[in-house]
Amino acid sequence: MTTSSHTKMLNQLKNKPTILKKFLKHNAPKLRQHGRNIKHCKLCGTTRGMISKYGLDLCRRCFRLNAKSLGFKKYH
């Protein structure tokens, strides 16, 4: 299961409380203390290519799209 799909699954099971209970018992992801999966991109939710510098908490792709609006300037 991917890191972003766990909450989507909960939305689908909202109207089926018994199945939701069973899902949470058997399939809920482990709560982690450290490692790659505790850092998520604020915009897209991926765990890959994270930039934590300056408190950005964005992945490299979202940073590239939003860098100008955040006030970063590209020098050649």
Q: Is 65 in the site for Zn ion (CB under 5 A)?
A: no
Report the residue from 10, 19, 38, 44 that binds Zn ion according to the rule CB under 5 A: 44
Residue 43 contacts Zn ion per CB under 5 A: yes
CA 68/CA 76 separation, integer angstroms: 15
Q: How many residues does the chain have?
A: 76
| Residue closer to Zn ion, measured from CB, 7 or 18 | 7
* Contact yes or no for 62/44 (Cβ under 8 A): yes
Q: How far is the CB of 42 from Zn ion (least distance, A)?
A: 7
Give the interface with Zn ion as residue ranges (CB under 5 A): 41, 43-44, 59, 62
